[in-house]
Structure 1
């Protein structure tokens, strides 16, 4: 079988080498999905061969080289052997006798263990095309169980390829990784890297449903509260096209200690802040929704100003608007206010002029600024 779009011209730097496009690029070409970066493997070459051709070495544990012109990465074909616990406990061998089939055998799933040559000819020693047609994630070899990151990758893939399923024998290996404590070797940075990508996929809930089913979710995210209702709401954030910070905020909702969860995952400050403020935004909007807002009263205006100030909406209006949009998309709260207009009105109050008039009296400045913001809202 030939995949024409993966055929490539051998330039002077790779001419004479056995170069193959491998992995996700082959899978995605067969699925006719958006083409991403290509991964290249060189079979039968040595590090010296690559250096003589002008390639720049960048690999740490195993030889990877940058193309002199395109700067794409070319890795020497390799095998791997388990040498310790966790996903970093491996030693690699990159001898010139390592074959393409041996290199592909170390990969996670059969649909990721395919390659094409310069003519676009497909190499599929582990029947990945058949599993692709079956929409099935199946492990390539028994060594799958040695790398717990593959559990996270599988969860992320399930969220991205929402019509795919897991082969029963692969599911069994995933459960074994939990039972034998391999999953405990996962570090927060790697967990968050894969979880964040799953959150931005087509159906985020599938990742967490899978991790919950094999018993891994409570091991890697013990503080997370996961249930069917949250799964439904999380998928709504994907349908609505919400950003990562919004999706993470919803994921962390109802967690006993949201700030501790963010610390354990070592998420970025922005995501942690979104998660921290979301429960307060929901509570504030629920309170406002119980009021009749056709004619704004002074009591309403006071509450709105205090709400915006409490949510740090003057300094971070985009975050507040994002959290309001999130709340509206997943909760049954009527959109009875134009919050962009509310924030613009409050922000337009000339704080500097008021401060000057109060001659440095901090308490008086706060009082006058708040009163001016309330009056500004009443004048809308």
Structure 2
């Protein structure tokens, strides 16, 4: 029985990056031998065990054979006679198909170290094209390592394009697409994930609402980048620079989807695109089964992001309507996600200076929301106000609090 460290831990250690988790492959062992050594079985499709002390995963070396559609359409074979190289060849990228022995020797049958040095994401074998999930995984790795100069190898991109054209992407379940997307959105360069999908034809299949923005023009005075899809890339890049949480980054992804539905006769203006964007964001969220909080925040950002950009000009009554839509009294954390997404939109523009400019609207709305806390609801009840009259009184008091705050901000 031989044990090897495999996958991401080997890759990242060779890149000089922190290793966050470790996966192990065991060659020459049977399930009975693993259990006899105290390992606890947890694998459903093939033998995977948890180490009795570290709780890290140890998988028996295995091979796989295509037996159906989608990323789950494989038959696995795990036995003591499966070699390490047979296990590694089924992996997606050469940089993920390396192993390290217990003695520290790197086993690299598919030249992963060469591709690490060349900063290439290259498939291990033609079997890559059998698993549609790998299209998303490669795009995600491109987003993760973009800052190091990595790119997808041309021949790998060709296989990804073949997968996109084959119809295999249709067999990906929504939950898995969302899992990969949510992880990609939190990578250092989330825009690269979608750019790679666009380059191989997968964006049109998985995110048609986003792909439809390609070539849609915007007013150059406000959008020097003009193209709406390019604006989308810039906004996602800014969302990462602002270190926004997942909910806000997903909202950035959805905020301008409605511009694809603007009649061409109205270009480059996009009147009422906010409502269309909110509707399309909900369509996308429903299809991908996005968690409710992220889906709701995305729809709200889509519908009200221009309100945020004009916050300093809005009447207190309109600010209160915005706060009611965001449910800031019960969900104050949602306001921060909303403001973060709006700031990424405002600063994600294609000209030097836009990305560094201030966004005072955020501090203004945060202050206005804080002013609402000064409204003493108990005091209103103590005056004997009840029922609908109490609701009216609370709303009036809150609008007055926003009014007072605005006057103080304008005339400090």
TM-score (norm 2): 0.82
How far residue 117 of structure 1 moved from its aligned partner, in angstroms, is: 0.7
- Structure 1 match to 2:240: 238
Counterpart of 2:336 in structure 1 is 321
User: Which SS does the other structure have where 1:234 is aligned?
Assistant: helix
How is 1:97-176 mapped onto 2 (pairs within 5 angstroms)?
A: 97-162=81-146, 163-176=149-162
- Secondary structure in structure 1 of the residue aligned to 2:64: strand
In 1, Cα distance between the equivalents of 2:72 and 2:81?
A: 24
Report the CA distance between 1:352 and its aligned residue.
3.3
Q: Which residue of 1 aligns with 2:230?
A: 228
Contact 1:186 1:220 in 2 (8 A): no
1:358 Cα deviation from its structure 2 partner: 4.3
Residue 354 (structure 1) aligned with residue 380 (structure 2)? yes
For residues 232 and 77 of structure 1, the distance between their equivalents in structure 2, rounded to whole angstroms, comes to 43
Residues 1:280 and 2:303 aligned together: yes
Give the aligned partner of residue 5 of structure 1: none
SS at match of 2:49: strand
1:210-359 alignment, distance < 5 Å: 210-224=196-210, 225-226=212-213, 227-256=229-258, 257-290=280-313, 300-331=315-346, 334-335=359-360, 337-359=363-385
Instruction: Encode CA deviations 1:222-273: one digit per residue, 9 max, x unaligned.
Output: 2335511100111010011111111000101122411111111111111111
Instruction: Report the alpha carbon displacement of residue 375 of structure 1 after superposing the two structures with TM.
Output: 2.8
What is the alpha-carbon distance in structure 1 between the residues aligned to residue 145 and residue 137 of structure 2? 12
Mapped pair 1:370 → 2:395: yes
User: What stretches of structure 1 of length at least 5 have no aligned partner?
Assistant: 1-16, 292-299
Gaps of 5+ in 2: 214-228, 259-279, 348-357, 406-412
Q: Say if 1:19 and 1:117, in contact at 8 Å, map to a contact too.
A: yes
How far apart, in 2, do the equivalents of 1:288 and 1:99 lie? 63
What residue number does 2:263 align with? none
1:34 aligns with 2:60: no
| More moved, 162-171 vs 230-239 | 162-171
Match of 2:355 in 1: none
> By how many angstroms is 1:304 displaced?
2.5
- 66, 89, 98: which is aligned to 1:82? 66
Corresponding residue of 1:23: 7
Alpha-carbon RMSD across the aligned residues, in angstroms, is: 1.7
From 166, 181, 190, the equivalent of 1:195 is 181
Superposed displacement of residue 286, structure 1: 3.3
How many angstroms apart in 1 are the aligned matches of 2:90 and 2:329? 53
Rounded Cα–Cα distance in structure 1 between residues aligned with 2:112 and 2:175: 30
In 2, Cα distance between equivalents of 1:77 and 1:235: 39
Query: How many residues end up aligned between the 2 structures?
Result: 355
Superposition deviation, residue 275 in structure 1? 0.2
Per-residue CA deviation, residues 298-346 of structure 1 (Å, 9 max, x unaligned), is xx33332232223211111221132123313431684155333321221
Q: Normalising by the residue count of structure 1, what TM-score does the alignment of the two structures yield?
A: 0.89
4+ residue segments displaced more than 4 Å:
none
Question: Aligned pair 1:52/2:54, yes or no?
Answer: no
Please tell me whether the aligned partners of residues 328 and 335 of structure 1 are also in contact (alpha carbons under 8 angstroms): no
Deviations 1:155-178 (A, max 9, x none): 100100102111121111111111
Distance (Å, rounded) in 2 between the aligned partners of 1:27 and 1:286:
43
- Offset of residue 104 of structure 1: 0.4
